[in-house]
Amino acid sequence: MTLLLGAFTIGLILSLLAMGVYVSFRIFDVPDITTDGSITLGAAIAAVLLVNGYNPLVATAAAAVGGAVAGSLTGVLHTRFKINALLSGILVMTALYSVNLHVMGRSNIPLMQARTLTSYSEKAGQWLIGANEFNLFGWRVGAGDAAVLVMALLAAIIVGYALYLFFRTNMGTAMRATGNNAQMIRALGANVERNIILGLALSNGLVALSGALLAQYQGFADAQMGIGMVVWGLASVIIGEALVGGSSLGLTIIGTILGSVLFRLLVAIALRWGLNPNDLKLITALFVFAALVLPRLMRQMKARPRSAA
């Protein structure tokens, strides 16, 4: 049961990352690899501030701001210096690797002694329930674990709802149009370059926020923790789209959250069944490859009989 709770919690925390990837990949149509660096940046900033005794909320917010700055840098490289979007992301991601090591001062910061959002939620859970464990439908559940799960759920719901509301404002609508038809929204007076920079800032802010929460949950920040995370986010977005089917804004955001949780559950089950953890990234990449290619193959399969007849 603890394993299941853990998978849910990590899935929800990473759903913030998935929503960040959703913003860059689906709304702006930019495959933004900055993600790999900015999730570590978020974890690094949060960890350093927490170790130095800052309030966990301040540390988490600072992490999100740091991610937003990294994302806007990618946006500036892409729009002002006309560098290919993919390459802009790679440049910033590479630079961030050094930046993250500087921020942390070493390659790993443990947070076991620090007061974090996780430790606060655990205490609050134990105080509310009045015991270290409780009975949930016959399962013995740690009160602290349950409280952390609730915190992660709240974070995912609040961020997802805020994102939904934002993309229905005048500013958010123009940002969606930027990815959908830049020529059109430029002719309607929007500064496309500025919108892309803002969008990548928003995306990487969410990713860094996710990194800060992840570091606090797993109890450490590590310079290597970002590797392959953009593909993880893509997998969540794609699973989410398959789950909800629709293409409306609200549905896809809900789908992204569900996709992230489901993907984490699948991974947890696979690991439990004896999957070598070293193969995890390979399988994730293969999965995203299949998810990107299959829809086209299916369309071709459907189209073929008609053209033959």
Partner 1 sequence: MLKISGIHKTFNPGTVNEVHALRGVDLTIEEGSFVVVLGMNGSGKSTLLNAVAGSFRVDEGSIKLDDRDVTKWPEHRRAAMIGRVFQNPFSGTAPDMSIAENFAMAASRGKTRGLGWALSKGLMDALRDRVATLKMGLEDRLDNAIGSLSGGQRQALTLLMASWIKPALLLLDEHTAALDPKSADQVIELSKEVIEKDGLTTLMVTHSMQQAVNLGDRIIMMHRGQIAHDFRGAEKKRLRAEDLLDCFEEIRRREQLDESAAAMLEQLYI
The residues that touch partner 1, with contacts defined as CB under 8 A, are 166, 168-174, 176-177, 180-181, 183-192, 247
Which C-beta is closer to partner 1: that of 60 or that of 252? Answer: 252
Which C-beta is closer to partner 1: that of 158 or that of 286? Answer: 158
Least Å distance between CB 262 and partner 1? 25
Which C-beta is closer to partner 1: that of 22 or that of 263? Answer: 22
Return the H-helix or E-strand segment holding 100: helix 85-104
Least Å distance between CB 72 and partner 1? 18
Least Å distance between CB 292 and partner 1? 18
Least Å distance between CB 246 and partner 1? 11
Which C-beta is closer to partner 1: that of 192 or that of 291? Answer: 192
Q: What gap in Å lies between CA 187 and CA 266, rounded to an integer? A: 45
Buried b (16+ CB within 10 A) or exposed e, 59-76: bbbbbbebbbebbbbbbb
Least Å distance between CB 260 and partner 1? 23
Least Å distance between CB 198 and partner 1? 11
Q: Tokens 């399988």 map to which residue?
A: 283
Which C-beta is closer to partner 1: that of 131 or that of 162? Answer: 162
Strands 133-136 and 139-142: antiparallel
Contact assessment for residue 255 and residue 243, using Cβ atoms and an 8 Å cutoff: yes
The CB-side HSE value for 95 (13 A sphere, CA atoms) comes to 12
Q: What gap in Å lies between CA 278 and CA 79, rounded to an integer? A: 37
Q: Which of 230, 237, 228, 284 has the alpha carbon at shortest distance from 260? A: 237
Which C-beta is closer to partner 1: that of 187 or that of 308? Answer: 187
Q: Is 262 helix (H, G, I), strand (E, B) or coil?
A: helix
